[in-house]
Amino acid sequence: MHVHPIPSPTGPSGKAMSPGIRLALAHIEANFTESIPMKDLAEIAGLCVWRFVTAFREQVGQTPHRFICRRRVQHAKELLREGVPSATVAMETGFFDQSHLYRHFKTICGVTPGQYLARIRAEVWSTTANQPAVERYSC
């Protein structure tokens, strides 16, 4: 199992993250499109599963499962903007199927992938920032 280093040594609170949690985050980043058993993440962090989930939530600000889902949705948004069909996006981002993607996408973003794309298409280029509106819309 190859683990990539994660760049930021601090969590959302600005406090330092433990090396084990940083290693687990690097593993998630490198493998978020695959199934990642909590047992494997705990082992990478050098903790039991219960302690790992608790430490992760304290240091990162959300559970490992939620963090992985959010990372997958973030990647799904990128693929959708590139024109990849949603069924393909679901498989390429680690969701079981299209309905699994839709459920998590709506929970995290408040809209379905189709509604997200419709909003992106409806917006025009920002004249003040000289950037496409897609960069301004986030969930």
Q: What is the CATH number of the domain that holds 74?
A: 1.10.10.60
Residue 113 counted as domain residue: yes
Structural domains in the chain (count): 2
Q: Count other Cβ atoms within 10 Å, centred on residue 131.
A: 10
* Burial class, 69, CB count within 10 angstroms (exposed 0-12 / middle 13-18 / buried 19+): buried
> 75 and 56: one domain?
no
98 assigned to some structural domain = yes
- pTM score over 0.95: no
- Name the residue type at position 52: F
The reply to whether 46 and 85 lie within a common domain is: no
Q: What is the pLDDT of residues 11-23, one digit of tens each?
A: 666 678 999 999 9
Is residue 53 included in any domain, yes or no?
Answer: yes
Amino acid, single-letter form, for residue 96: F
Q: Using 50, 70 and 90 to split pLDDT, how confident is the model at 123?
A: confident
Decide if pLDDT at 126 tops 50: no
Together in a domain, 131 and 71: yes
Q: Are residues 72 and 116 in the same domain?
A: yes
**10 in any annotated domain:** no
Q: Do 45 and 75 reside in the same domain of the chain?
A: no
Question: Among candidates 33, 125, 27, 132, which has minimal Cα distance to 79?
Answer: 33
Same domain, 116 and 96: yes
Per-residue confidence band for 37, with pLDDT thresholds at 50, 70 and 90: very high
Q: How many helices (H) and strands (E) does the chain have?
A: 7, 0
Domain that holds residue 46: 19-61
Note whether 94 and 32 are within 8 A (CB).
yes
- For residue 75, the model assigns a pLDDT of 97
Mean pLDDT of 130-135: 52
